[in-house]
Structure 1
Amino acid sequence: MRKLRIRKRSILLWIIALVFVASVGASFYFFHVAQIREEKSFINNKPRPKDSSLYTYEQSFDQLTKETRWMTNQGLKQDAWYVPAATETNKTAIVVHGFTSAKEDMKPYAWMFHELGYNVLMPDNMSHGDSEGQIIGYGWNDRLNIVKWAQLLVEENSDSQITLFGVSMGGASVMMASGEENLPKQVVNIIEDCGYSSVWDELKYQAKAMYNLPAFPILYEVSAVSKVRAGFSYGQASCVNQLKNNTRPILFIHGSEDYFVPTSMVSKNYRATKGYKDLYIAKGAAHAKSFESDPKTYIETISAFLQKN
């Protein structure tokens, strides 16, 4: 009987050990999927089709004069395009792209701001495009680059009036930047399109949607890996918490049919901010498709917000 109990205990310990090893291995795998720089099979980064309503804006942007700018922040060289306005102005929009995207994908948005009379700065986020880095920061590390880009603009022109604009992860990035004390006062307003409420909320949603996995224990483990490898945990990287410190006017945009970053997340972000706020829900629009689904209303909504703020 005693030998049988010892044997059962030994088997149980082996099972626990195997489950632990499998769990740790899975956490490193999912960290790689989520945060290591590489092509992601679940993200469509194909060129914008010619029948897209934004294709003509993209082509128009290609006719503009642009210059490449560089800076070093967080130990990594960061790249951006700068497009001067047609007429000299103090107004500049910093236009921030999404997950596994790049500044090139923001051409229609940059063209929109150019048409509205703005200079446009289009950075590549850390570990994207021509910027250095191998670990994706989901906006949390990128927020510090946005602050630095804004500071550099102010060094050039202390009378700058800066708008932060971002789509998806870029939207999260500008919301996360909003709560930083050293964000220059010359940042006068913010526009975010389909950003998530926190990295934890988004990856918890994706774990269920893509893999049918609960948050416990995998997401907790992956978050711990991120804390070691990327410098932040998923709960720490929160737009909601950052927006609680924001007093700048902000326009929230989200598609009503967004099933990648659920539309419900915009409500959390909207409630959190302290400053003037406005909300545009694009009827029938999927993730990051609010502009494409109705360009006229999208531009009019942003133009009215900018004129008011």
Structure 2
Amino acid sequence: MWKRIVRWGTCLVGAVVISIIVADLYFFHVAFVPAKKDFLEKPLPLRPGTALYQQRLWYHDVPKQHWTMESATGRYRLGANYIPARHSDKAVLICHGYMQNKNDMGAYAAMFHQMGYNVLVPDARGMGDSQGKYVGFGWPERYDERKWMKRLVHHLGPHVKIVMFGVSMGGATTMMTSGLHLPKQCVAMIEDCGYTSVKAEITHEAKDMYHMPAIPRWPLIPVLSLMTKLRIGYFMGEASSVRMLHHNHRPMLFIHGAKDTFVPTRMVYQNYRADRGPKELWVCPDADHAHSLRTHSREYERHVQQFLNKYVH
């Protein structure tokens, strides 16, 4: 009798463990492996009448220099577009969002270039022209961004003033980079709709997309975090914008859409409170995720320009 109970109990435990591993392998592939994601918004076509058409057309047509660099770990070859500005000692490093690439940031590149900035837009690991097996969600990429900053200093000289800017995953990358020891030429940062941590964002999306109640998230999320440690090199809880902002003393502008449900608007308040430097916050009314520039372009540009005028001289 007891042997039968133990045998059935062992089989049940084994089945549960296998189910958890299979589910987490699926979630890992969905979240961290570069591939087409059906749950993401499709990119805007480049045609007259679409939002930000003129800015995106400018980026499409403007001559660009293609830069390459080894990743900070030396494992991957990374690509970027560089657009010089005449007689300018200012540069912006632009970070794109999840499963995007440098060409999706054309409207932002146009905005900064019009403000007189040399523009560098890299592809994150595993996206665009950059090599990489996994999406790092900004945590391993923060060291790549620091290396791109050093490349800008080498190219433009020691007197260059660098602003780092990012949207969505790029916003989180910006905040995660902010806590590193960076070149002194990095003088300000702007983040748009970045998450508080990889764990918080993945947990939110698991609940939102798969309607996972609180109990099944354990042990799925901890096991998924272990997979990221084994494959990418970090536990999801380590990859924290909030924790890195505690070490930031550069000016930071925080932007977030008031109707963002992909990266919930509440996260920007946590990030803002965590920051230790001079800071400003603009919650864009009626804007969904990463749509603040699209829906309120003039106000967006005004907030960015006023922030830069205050801190980049």
Give the structure-2-normalised TM-score: 0.95
Residues 171 and 193 of structure 1 are in contact (CA less than 8 Å); yes or no, is this contact kept in structure 2? Answer: yes
Matching of residue 128 in structure 1 with residue 130 in structure 2? no
Alpha-carbon contact 1:143-1:177 (below 8 Å) kept: yes
Q: How does 1:58-207 map to 2 (within 5 A)?
A: 58-73=56-71, 74=73, 75-85=75-85, 87-156=86-155, 157-181=157-181, 183-207=182-206
Moved over 4 A (4+): none
Structure 1 CA distance for aligned equivalents of residues 9 and 34 of structure 2: 39
The normalised TM-score by structure 1 is 0.96
8 Å CA contact 1:45, 1:101 repeated in 2:
no
Other structure's SS at 2:154 match:
helix
Structure 2, gaps ≥5 residues long: none
Please report the RMSD computed on the Cα atoms of aligned residues, expressed in angstroms: 1.0
Tell me the percent identity: 39
- 1:304 corresponds to which of 281, 303, 306: 306
Confirm or deny: 8 A CA contact 2:46 2:57 kept in the other structure.
no
Question: Residues 164-187 of structure 1: CA distance to partner in whole angstroms, max 9, x if unpaired?
Answer: 000000000011000011x11100
Amino acid at match of 1:28: L
Following superposition, the deviation at residue 6 of structure 1 comes to: 2.0
Contact 1:179 1:246 in 2 (8 A): yes
Unpaired runs of 5+ residues, structure 1, are none
Tell me the CA shift for residue 13 of structure 1. Answer: 1.3
**Aligned residues of 1:90 and 1:159 also touching (Cα < 8 A):** yes
Paired residues, what number? 304
2:218 & 2:139 partners in 1: Cα distance? 23
Q: Could you say what secondary structure the match of 2:162 adopts?
A: strand
| Aligned residues of 2:246 and 2:274 also touching (Cα < 8 A) | yes
Tell me by how many angstroms 1:49 deviates: 5.8
Q: 2-side partners of 1:171 and 1:306: how far apart?
A: 17
Shift of 1:188: 0.3
CA contact (8 A) 1:65 1:84 kept: no
For the residues of structure 1 that align with 2:59 and 2:288, how far apart are their CA atoms? Answer: 24
Q: Distance in 2 between matches of 1:52 and 1:295?
A: 13
Deviations 1:51-83 (A, max 9, x none): 333112101222322110000022210000000
Q: Give the Cα–Cα distance (whole angstroms) in 2 for the partners of residues 104 and 118 of structure 1.
A: 17
Q: Which moved more, 1:42-51 or 1:27-36?
A: 42-51
C-alpha separation in 1, matches of 2:138 and 2:43: 22
For 1:39, which of 36, 41, 47 is the aligned residue?
Answer: 36
